[in-house]
Structure 1
Amino acid sequence: MSAGSRARSFDVAAARYEAARPSYPPALFDAIEQLMGRPLAGVRVADVGAGTGIATRLLRERGAEVIAVEPGGAMAAELRRVLPDVPLVRGDGNALPLADSSCELLTYAQSWQWTDTGRSVPEALRVLRPGGLLAIWWNTTAFDVPWIRAQHERIAYHCGIPARSPVRPDDHEAVRLAGLDGLEVTRRRIRWRRRVTLDTHLANIGSRSALLVLGEDSSRAFLAEERRILAQAFPAEVVEEVYVVDLLVAARP
């Protein structure tokens, strides 16, 4: 299954994505402001691969002047529904529909991995003003939480993909994997958590691309079994999800 096919899979679950996916902690945006050396208020930002606007909304709440860039039709429609006043253009990080030196900050929340870094890095540098920042981040799995690690392994087995190593890459490896070699990059890791109902947790899991590409019947059966397992561990049907946001910020020379 190609990365493009997995990226396009989100369009079939746009409403579920908006309703169930985790947001991001205030400390993430505090870190970005610290690295910028100024508040986000008034900063010209393009949120690329914006999806349904989860990060777009938080950037706007900080006072940033945000334009959303999203390739998926259903995801873009959901963003327009929840954020009707935010400018939105269709496109992706490999060919940004933005003018040269037009942004002070480019953000990629959960979306950098869907780009071809041989194209997306030069595009980011083209669109950023001198001294501007490229910020990419992911809510990553807190593998030190036993039930979360066990669920990750069940998902990987069901989807026929390798389970991720519980050992996180060091800073040099993280920069290499992100295709940002040669740039000045700063890394921050921010741990946070949220408490949600079991239904919301399962909807969140079901909105992941690895499950979406398997089709509705396969996902339904897997999620039914997950409900059975988790209802035993969480009889009140309230789950505490734990995340580590992995943030990489690169400066344009």
Structure 2
Amino acid sequence: MTDEIPAGGRALAFGRAARAYAAYRPGYPAAVLDAVEELGGLRLAGALVADVGTGTGLAARALHGRGARVIGVEPGGGMAAQFRRELPDVPLVRGDGNRLPLADGSLDLVTYAQSWHWTDPARAVPSALRVLRPGGALALLWNDPDPSVAWVAEQQARIVARLGEGTYVSDRTLPSGLSWRSRELRWSRPVTVGFHLAKLATHSAFIVLDEASRAQFLETERKHLLHHFPDGMLDEPYTAFVAVAVRPHPQETA
């Protein structure tokens, strides 16, 4: 059962599927980066940004494309190796989201994109605030399947029945003690049924399943999807949630 595997083990298990993760996981649409700029009162162009738990660099790629000077932070060896293949010109440091290996007050923005739920907020928040300059921003990003779409809700119910709660959609609980501004955005991408199933297999709960159980579930899921989408194409819907908190200037906390 997946609940027998510690959270840290499931996080590092992504290394087994790093190439598939880079190939099939969704990136971040421009509206997400627009929201980070607006909510954080900053411009990404020229900003020094650490993308923490960067994985294969999906968010780092988007930030870099907007002109940010990005540093990836990643604890897992497999994901770090894939990051270097995907973004050879973007610096990467091996590090833990709870203990950032970065200088005090050095950054304009720290992002945790689809990685906050792997941290201990009691340690991660002070660490992020330490490396931010006064007025710098901490941004938490989630990119999850949209449960308001009927076929997605049905699929999630089957996943929960097989693997348990919390195995697919992220916990978006925001840490207390900070002043958060947030926005939710809906977007989608057209993919084949096969592509969608390959993406599904990159979630940690599926990675840690034995091969036979994973294959059996995905084949059953293929039949459900083809019932809805007999031509083999579907629109994969997402809700992107952006939450940003700004580190106060010293005079604001005095």
Asked if TM exceeds 0.5, the reply is yes
CA RMSD of aligned residues (A): 1.8
Name the structure 2 match of 1:9: 13
In structure 2, do the counterparts of structure 1 residues 5 and 163 end up closer, same or farther at CA, with 3 Å as the change threshold? closer
Q: Given that residues 153 and 163 in structure 1 are in contact (C-alpha distance below 8 angstroms), is that contact kept between their aligned partners in structure 2?
A: no
Question: 2:146 maps to what in 1?
Answer: 142
| Distance in 1 between residues matched to 2:166 and 2:111, nearest whole Å | 28
Deviation of the 1:197 alpha carbon = 1.2
1:107 to 111, 136, 157: 111
Distance 1:163 1:65, change over 3 A: closer
Deviation at 1:178, TM superposition (A): 2.5
2:72 is the counterpart of 1:84: no
Match of 1:243 among 234, 238, 246: 238
Question: Aligned to 1:53, which of 57, 60, 63?
Answer: 57
SS at match of 1:158: helix
CA contact (8 A) 1:56 1:68 kept: yes
Q: Is the 8 A contact 1:159 1:214 kept in 2?
A: no
Q: How many residues align?
A: 244
Q: Report the alpha carbon displacement of residue 184 of structure 1 after superposing the two structures with TM.
A: 1.3
Change (3 A) 1:163 1:60: closer
- The equivalent residue for 1:211 is 206
Task: Report the equivalent of 1:232.
Answer: 227
Q: Which runs of 5+ in 2 are unaligned?
A: 249-254
CA distance in structure 2 between the partners assigned to 1:12 and 1:61 by the alignment: 27
Q: CA deviation at 1:38?
A: 3.7
**Percent identity between the aligned chains?**
52
User: Quick one: structure 1 residues 131 and 18, their matched pair in 2 at CA, closer, same or farther if it must change by over 3 Å?
Assistant: same
| TM-score, scaled relative to structure 1 | 0.92
Q: CA contact under 8 A between 1:196 and 1:239: conserved in structure 2? A: yes
Q: Pick closer, same or farther for the CA change 1:218–1:122 going to 2, 3 Å.
A: same
Asked if 2 retains the 8 angstrom alpha-carbon contact of 1:152 and 1:163, the reply is: no
> Partners in 2 of 1:85 and 1:119 — Cα distance?
30
For 2:238, what is the secondary structure of its paired residue? strand
Q: Does 1:66 align with 2:70?
A: yes
TM-score in terms of structure 2 length: 0.92
Counterpart CA distance in 2 for 1:63 and 1:161 is: 38
SS in 1 for 2:23: helix
Cα shift at 1:164:
8.5
- State the distance in 2 between where 1:105 and 1:194 align: 28
Structure 1: gaps of 5 or more residues: none
Does structure 1 conserve the Cα–Cα contact (< 8 Å) formed by 2:40 and 2:246? no
Is residue 187 from structure 1 mapped to residue 187 from structure 2 by the alignment? no
Give me the whole-angstrom Cα distance separating, in 2, the residues matched to 1:58 and 1:224: 33
The one-letter amino acid paired with 2:90 is V
Q: CA deviation at 1:143?
A: 1.4
State the SS of the aligned residue for 2:224: helix
Match of 2:252 in 1: none
Q: 1:36 is aligned with what amino acid?
A: G
